[in-house]
A and B are shown apart, each in its own frame.
Chain A
């Protein structure tokens, strides 16, 4: 059958509002990364060899060690607790289903501050021990040094394992009952089913979870700075701010971007694998192993410990401090920090949701692959560490400011710092980093609306924009709300970008807490930290509710 010549041609990119907008968004997101790479390769100072000979190896080793430690830790805790809670019944297992998510509300640096505060020499724990055992000097006993690589690993593991827990849990729940029942009839114990069946089937989801954890590890600044662990992020800040070398920072960033690339590829491949792991469509109430005796006790404590250490412990310490020191906090301008945080986070959340929705709709309306590629590029921000984004955002905005002044100068208009000094760079940074979240939510929610509904609205006289307003938006409202909340909370917790990109004399709750904790004044900023944790609880609640409702086949 003859094939017409038109069919061979890849569909042309039609230029309309939607495609143009999508391309602009993609460029805006990619710009900081290209800036960094450009700065790295055009740097004329000789700092690279200096770095290479001195600290590069150290940064590499420290970062990899941290990634490895946290990776293993979250893998074990996340997967183990997910299995216990999903497949076994023991006292408290129903509560732990959602309680194990709580440490998500605590940013790593907050836990780091609290842990150090309590466990250092002058802290509660050691003082109590010394009182109990009559030791008077540090040489009398041994106590692990908190401010170390080990401490950082423990702290990060405790706040990041919920990522793996969530994904492993949903993977276990998705597994067809048949597979697990077969496993039992073949005589496998709980442990046997876990290692030979459930774990391998859930592997893609677990891989996704661990790569997300590792991305957060690379991104972290507050913890590694406080614990004096020389990771790449710490190094980038150091070279940039202390050695005043943007080029050097950019070069370090480029190396780190390679690591990020590996993580992204791993995650994408694992996500694709997930789709092929449903073996049958039969779902029903999962059979659970009833645990008794020492097994039940062990399981209880295995689940209780992460929740205790990752949430209850910091929350209670902070609450205690907040109550005792609220006067100091309030006099330290607490409310202005709250307002700053709220303003920034709300603006970024609103913009992210609008842009994410626009992008998702543009993809839906598109015919060829170009817009989809643009959307892919625009979703890269979540993997790029805040430090790198900071370099990539600050430099061009500074340059833009200078050119605006120059242009204005030619017209006799004095143009001051248009970008620098406003919240524009920081909101831009937030958008680059969190757009993926908003876009992903919009994409998933839009996917639930059948293409025939679009067609029905169009044939009934609605153009695409009217259809978006009358059909898509009402159906997506709930998801968009969720996306806005998630972005909002992530912005509230954000530290590395905020430290660099904030305007002069502008503090958010996160930077306020970081500043005070660095000055050994944690108690006075405890209310601020508690507020951040409070905001962080909201997504935990949302997630818990979603988990409870999402078992397929359950009415």
Chain B
């Protein structure tokens, strides 16, 4: 089985530098996600790997074969690379039915060899009855499945997925994600996926590369990125955070919700303490908040006044005010709905609080 190496890739469109020195390695059987905001260059990286854009700088190797080198204009064209690509808009051929779409990339001599795999894929993706249907008659979810099977049908060396679920409505997404992951893992092909949805990345990926403005910001497993973000950008990317500003004294950072480790910041540095909404533990004013498995509550809690509380079904959204006037948004499991003005006990799970140097200058108070 093949692996994919992208080394020191740089790319520019005219004066717009889209990628700067990006390296990605995907081993056989691994699913790696490129996660980042729009315009950070992740789709360009995918297209370079597929050979749809000429490589300007860097090297691309598939299964240790050098398919493109930025110094050489003689680069392997897409049709020879064996890189299956699934497009965001699916790009199904409107003039071919489902069967002809899927078998488009299989040439005559491989037809019998792939027949068994095809049958299995169609069955597991629920497409068996649709072989003669045309793309425009299919739902979004069905089109996505056809596009995926089509990309996998010619037994590609690597698989590239460009925002494969963004065209689907939210209710179907979870189910289709599971099916996609199952099929991809079954085939064991090295997969590089692009998305802007952090939850999707965490669900699908063995490893995630967070990208911003053409550079890789952090590379790690989903747990590593969520629990140990390298900077505020990565932390904020995995969900909204509450930002509490403070200063480091004696290796500790004091905030109205608790005291935290300075995490290597020097004394006197202005820092932002980023606490996730799900990192708060709440209880009624006369009780102490319960710890959840793995928590580090530090045995302290503060009592603060509630601004509002809204039920969200399996969570409750509770906002309370600090003495500084800053409103903190939290989410706690279950239905916990104090009234505005009520007092609650608040503790913070230190594992979900991160300290970074401030990027904005604190005004003198």
Contacts and interface: CB of A to CB of B under 8 A. Distances in A.
Whether both chains belong to one complex is answered with yes
A513 to B, nearest CB: 42
A7 interface: yes
Contact of B14 (A2, A7, A462): A7
Contacts of B89: 450, 452
A7 B91 contact: no
Contacts of A460: 79, 84, 104-105, 150-151, 154
A242 interface: no
A77 B303 CA distance: 82
A76 interface: no
B84 A459 contact: yes
B52 A459 contact: yes
Given A455-B78, A458-B78, A461-B107, A6 B56 contact: yes
28 contacts: A1-B213, A1-B214, A2-B17, A3-B12, A3-B15, A4-B10, A4-B12, A7-B16, A8-B15, A367-B54, A452-B88, A452-B91, A455-B52, A456-B85, A456-B87, A456-B92, A456-B93, A457-B93, A458-B50, A458-B52, A458-B78, A458-B79, A459-B78, A459-B105, A460-B104, A461-B107, A474-B95, A475-B94
Contacts of B150: 456, 460
B77 A458 contact: yes
A486 B277 CA distance: 66
Nearest to B105: A460
Interface string B262-301: 0000000000000000000000000000000000000000
A450 B88 CA distance: 12
Pick from A367, A452, A460, A463 the residue with the most CB of B within 10 Å: A460
Contacts of B57: 4, 6
A149 B334 CA distance: 90
A8 B16 CA distance: 10
A12 to B, nearest CB: 9
B20 interface: yes
B12 A7 contact: yes
A277 to B, nearest CB: 28
Given A452-B91, A453-B91, A475-B95, A461 B12 contact: no
A461 B77 CA distance: 9
Interface in A503-555: none
4 shortest A-B CB distances, which residue pairs? A460-B105, A7-B12, A452-B91, A458-B78
Contacts, number: 88
Interface in A440-474: 450, 452-453, 455-463, 466, 470-471, 474
A3 B12 CA distance: 8
Contacts of B94: 475
Scoring A7, A463, A470, A475 by chain B CB atoms within 10 A of each residue's CB, the highest score goes to: A7
Given A6-B57, A455-B47, A475-B95, 17 more contacts: A1-B213, A2-B17, A3-B12, A4-B56, A7-B14, A7-B15, A450-B91, A455-B78, A455-B85, A456-B87, A456-B93, A457-B104, A459-B51, A459-B83, A463-B79, A470-B104, A474-B95
A48 to B, nearest CB: 48
A492 to B, nearest CB: 31
Given A7-B12, A450-B91, A461 B17 contact: no
Contacts of B151: 459-460
Interface string B97-124: 0000000110100000000000000000
A114 B213 CA distance: 71
Contact of B77 (A3, A7, A463, A474): A463
A458 B151 CA distance: 11
Interface string B207-250: 00000011000000000000000000000000000000000000
A117 B17 CA distance: 71
Contacts of A461: 79, 105, 107, 154
Nearest to A1: B17
Interface residues of A, number: 25
B79 A459 contact: yes
A4 B17 contact: yes
Contacts of B214: 1
Nearest to B82: A461
A6 B11 CA distance: 9
Contacts of A3: 12, 15, 17
Interface in A468-491: 470-471, 474-475
A477 to B, nearest CB: 9
Contacts of B78: 455, 458-459
Nearest to B80: A461
Interface in B145-167: 150-151, 154, 160
Contacts of B51: 458-459
Contacts of A471: 93, 95
Interface in B27-42: none
A46 B79 CA distance: 63
A452 B91 CA distance: 6
Nearest to B162: A452
Interface string A191-208: 000000000000000000
A456 B15 contact: no
B67 to A, nearest CB: 13
Interface in A5-34: 6-8
Contact of A455 (B12, B17, B50): B50
Given A459-B50, A461-B107, A7 B17 contact: yes
A376 B87 CA distance: 32
Contacts of B79: 458-463, 466
Nearest to B81: A459
Contacts of B54: 367
B147 to A, nearest CB: 8
A475 B91 CA distance: 13
A455 B105 contact: no
Contacts of A453: 91, 93
Nearest to B89: A452
Contacts of B95: 471, 474-475
A205 B183 CA distance: 53
A8 B12 CA distance: 9
Nearest to A452: B91
A31 B102 CA distance: 47
Contacts of B105: 459-461
Nearest to A463: B79
Given A4-B10, A7-B12, A452 B56 contact: no
A3 B13 CA distance: 10
Contacts of B104: 457, 460, 462, 470
B88 to A, nearest CB: 8
Contacts of A6: 12, 56-57
A453 B95 CA distance: 12
